[in-house]
Amino acid sequence: MYVKICDKSEINKEGEGIVSQKTGIPKVSFIALINDDPKAYHLNWTSEDGKIIDAQITKNKKVDILSVNNN
């Protein structure tokens, strides 16, 4: 599931790349299922300018940015 929704790279031609399409980043560094909602995932990645970004993606392919923190 991680590769399918997060990665849309040359290696993963099958991936939907939902996160990449919504956020503009090619890969996500962390993903976990949210316990109280089996259709939602918590994502984490580091932006090009070094900020840590937390987001949530739901089954309807909606990406919500939860926070942006400086390193």
Chain-centroid distance, C-alpha 2 = 9
Residue 53 confidence (pLDDT) above 80: yes
Q: What is the sign of the dihedral through the CA atoms of 11, 67, 33 and 46?
A: positive
pLDDT at 11: 63
Helix (H, G, I), strand (E, B) or coil at 20: helix
pLDDT at 51: 84
pLDDT band at 38 (very low <50, low <70, confident <90, very high): confident
Helix (H, G, I), strand (E, B) or coil at 11: coil
